[in-house]
Structure 1
């Protein structure tokens, strides 16, 4: 405990002594007033209660005195005089408010002076130069919460927070794990297991940066308005940046079957991946591809894509989640829509450096002429392919419905819209 906590502990134990003394006095008054009218059992209970109250009071005095001695020893050690007031310990909420206010003040200071305060928490570029202010943990948490409101692919992949700019990891591919040998003969020799297939993945943290322009009126506004704008801008930009990096890695999937009918999708789901992975797999496509898939019907007229039974806003194919990405970020290739299926958490890992920084100027980059402020944001992460056998990539244009009354997709008469 620090000296303030020791002081509070002493005060709390002193209050308990007072409470127990008042309890003892009240019991004594009741004891004297009613003792002669009680039977033997009630008299015995009264005596036991008085005895316990007296012992509790003695124990509380001892605890209070010990707390007082501990506090006074701490005062002597830290050379605290009785004239020096006890500093109030700030609450978590007060500390967060101070950190946020300090960030905004530092941004304003950079804008007006072009310099970062010496006591500001900063990040450093690889060349040793200052990269800007580090966003406080509370603001960073709000940014992460806000990110989840957008169509972020980050929750589909595995994420690992790292503290160094580069490193390596050893992984075992889940898709290549084989079962133990089945021994029918009780006296049979147990064979050696197949050696696990290990792969070494090297990550190198990349810097992703961008500059946004804010009016100087905004910078002069309240702390809440600046932080709100900062969180909104960083969140949207971060989702787009990380989604693109994830989609670039998804594009490395080896298998690219072309889907032309209903059964091809069932083959992609049932016959492409290891069964160990299928149960945790999901689909990813773009908006125009989802439009085509949403119109597909089986032989009984049932749509391929169905709403989740507990949340109709969630769409599924055969019980597997369907994630839809804008065509702007997941475009068609030569007129074909992309379709991914697999467990992306097993396949892809995002290494998160967790150092978002901000730097600003109201002079450079044309800011002076327009009375605006240029604010630069830098994010650091890397995305790597871990197991290319944990997901598959397909493509499609038109997909034929199943003709009513038949299970053979070769006999088709209707097509889903492009």
Structure 2
């Protein structure tokens, strides 16, 4: 029973009480009119009930269809793994030279979900989904506006500078890796086979994205920061009002340790949890309050004693061009390094994905570091 049905049923009950009162007061005409109104309400209730059952049946069918689709996609993927991920004859653009099994959308979605479940710099940058291997996007250049000029009556209006634009190009590259598993895995359940490959691909994909983004950050001019005052200057002056409001400090575990020891003149720690979200840390120094994103040392290592402090708005500074195309091949005969799939009764899976990372706005990011004593 839905809300509308409950309201109609309550209204029918109320009307029946009114009809009884009218009958008791010998108001026969009014009582008959009330009965007609009750009859109309009951007909409306029957219609609403029939519609509710019909909608419920449709919802159940859709839900069952979705569940069946999920189950079928897992079974299809697992069977493809057992059968060696035979080459797909209907290749998409960019894949013919590679061959392999094109990962279906449902499994690709699961890979993306797993990838996003761990710390990924991809969440902090702009992600542009593309359908071609290379292309360009046009952006308006950031410029200092000069405002209108005063013009006397009948005077000529001077020309103003027209907006300037720039083009950012991308070219998708191929990134690949392999994963050895025992052949016993292929005899396991559909869910176990699928989950093992999804977790492997998702984690490798996340690490790949992190490396590409960090390599792009390194192309920004490196700036040494000597403490909290330099951090505040980077936010207030270098980034300025254009980016400060949307900026974050991205650092690693060593950087978190450094920030977690900073105190103000009253001995209060500058690193504070966000009251609205206690899991989110913020650097609170005077008028400066900025969120902190911590990336594990394994993903963003400290270079000797130089702890990374990336400050700014990475969504404005960097674009991740995602081709959204992935395929897999497998072999039980391949030899890679010391791994011999045939001798060791292994199966080697090779996954390939396609992406590119480029700068968007040089002024949106400060590639900083703080030198700490070991």
TM category (shorter chain) comes to 0.7 to 0.9
Tell me, yes or no, if the aligned pair for 1:100 and 1:136 is still in contact at 8 Å: no
Q: Is 1:355 matched up with 2:328?
A: no
Give the TM-score of the pair, scaled to structure 2.
0.76
Tell me, yes or no, if the aligned pair for 2:88 and 2:102 is still in contact at 8 Å: no
1:253 match: secondary structure: coil
Any residues of structure 2 matched to 1:7-406 within 5 Å, and which?
A: 39-43=28-32, 91-110=65-84, 115-116=86-87, 128-129=96-97, 131-173=99-141, 176-179=142-145, 181=147, 193-254=160-221, 256-317=222-283, 318-333=288-303, 335-365=305-335, 366-398=340-372
Query: In structure 2, do the counterparts of structure 1 residues 110 and 198 end up closer, same or farther at CA, with 3 Å as the change threshold?
Result: same
1:355 match: secondary structure: strand
Deviates more, 1:300-309 or 1:240-249: 300-309
Query: In structure 2, do the counterparts of structure 1 residues 38 and 139 end up closer, same or farther at CA, with 3 Å as the change threshold?
Result: farther
Tell me, yes or no, if the aligned pair for 1:170 and 1:200 is still in contact at 8 Å: yes
Gaps of 5+ in 1: 1-33, 58-87, 399-416
Gaps of 5+ in 2: 1-22, 47-60
Deviates more, 1:39-48 or 1:199-208: 39-48
Give CA-to-partner distance per residue, 1:107-161, whole Å, 9 cap, x none: 11117xxx4476xx755655x3452222222222222222122110011100011
1:345 match: secondary structure: helix
Q: CA deviation at 1:101?
A: 1.1
Q: CA deviation at 1:252?
A: 1.3
Give CA-to-partner distance per residue, 1:138-194, whole Å, 9 cap, x none: 222222222122110011100011111111111124xx3435626788979876554
What value does the CA root-mean-square deviation take over the aligned residues? Answer: 3.3
Tell me, yes or no, if the aligned pair for 2:251 and 2:292 is still in contact at 8 Å: yes
Give CA-to-partner distance per residue, 1:258-298, whole Å, 9 cap, x none: 22233222111211113121100111122223322321223
Counterpart in the other structure of 1:75 = none
Query: In structure 2, do the counterparts of structure 1 residues 154 and 293 end up closer, same or farther at CA, with 3 Å as the change threshold?
Result: same
Query: In structure 2, do the counterparts of structure 1 residues 321 and 41 end up closer, same or farther at CA, with 3 Å as the change threshold?
Result: same
Query: In structure 2, do the counterparts of structure 1 residues 341 and 190 end up closer, same or farther at CA, with 3 Å as the change threshold?
Result: farther
Q: CA deviation at 1:245?
A: 0.2
CA distance in 1, matches of 2:27, 2:331: 85
CA distance in 1, matches of 2:320, 2:256: 26
Give CA-to-partner distance per residue, 1:51-92, whole Å, 9 cap, x none: 9999xx9xxxxxxxxxxxxxxxxxxxxxxxxxxxxxx99712
Give the TM-score of the pair, scaled to structure 1.
0.69
Count of equivalent residues: 326
Q: CA deviation at 1:42?
A: 4.3
Query: In structure 2, do the counterparts of structure 1 residues 263 and 274 end up closer, same or farther at CA, with 3 Å as the change threshold?
Result: closer
Tell me, yes or no, if the aligned pair for 1:283 and 1:323 is still in contact at 8 Å: yes
1:274 match: secondary structure: helix
CA distance in 2, matches of 1:44, 1:325: 73
Structure holding more strand per residue: 2
CA distance in 1, matches of 2:164, 2:117: 38
CA distance in 2, matches of 1:388, 1:168: 18
CA distance in 2, matches of 1:313, 1:178: 39
